[in-house]
Amino acid sequence: MENAAKPPTLRAITRDSLRDGSLLAAVRSMPGLTLRTDAEMEATLADILAARPSGAPVWVFGYGSLMWNPSFHFAERRQATLHGWQRRFCLWLRAGRGSVANPGLMLALDRGGHTHGVAFRLPEGLEEEELRLVWMREMAAVGYLAQWVELDTAEGPLPAITFVADRARDTYAEGLSDADSAARIARATGPIGSCADYLMQTAAHLDEMGLHDEGLERIRRLVGGACLPSGMAAELPGGG
């Protein structure tokens, strides 16, 4: 009897793993995720490009791993602030660093407050090609909505695409206190690691970039030293 084919292994997010489809295939092999089809992903990409402000460059706003590991080509990078949206652990994570039985939490943008992050300007003429790579990591599974927002930068305001929590989905974790979130993050694990490691790695990168997020700091203090960063074998797609 022949051995059943093993599911694809989730590799670190790189330009190559996005372009060759291996990262998308690995995500689609994970139980516990509700996924978009290729057609649905293409439709959302077409919709966001159709809503592009006339004559404006395409910028992408990163607030999670996109900030330090964009994995797409860009022509310019700026620190930026988004008002009216805050970085929060508000998406249930039932695969990768969590499970259906013991879900963890992932970062998304939720209503209220403000978020410091990084804006990337895509090269002229390559906007759709580069955005498709972003879509493979952020929009393969439901949970995020892509939308245009206005950012504040030292050089002035600019429109950008970012990814916010879809409150209509069952992936949205509503009404969790900091203590509830920290408890979930502290104990959730999956085949590629722990949510605590994801939290600590994210906070450490923000520290390195000189970006402060008080909400994230509160969660980090609550989780404390129980789960120190051990280095990620792979990053879970998503988290902006």
Q: Is residue 138 flagged as an active site residue?
A: yes
Among candidate residues 40, 128, 130, 138, the one labeled active-site is 138
The conformation of residue 120, written as its DSSP 8-state character, comes to: E
Selection from 114, 127, 132, 104 nearest residue 195 by Cα: 104
Return the sign of the alpha-carbon dihedral for residues 215, 144, 17, 19: negative
Distance between first and last Cα of the chain: 43
Tokens of 109: 């943008």
What are the φ/ψ torsions at residue 169 (nearest 5 degrees)?
A: -95, 155
**At 84, is the secondary structure helix, strand, or coil?**
strand
List, by residue number, the catalytic residues: 138
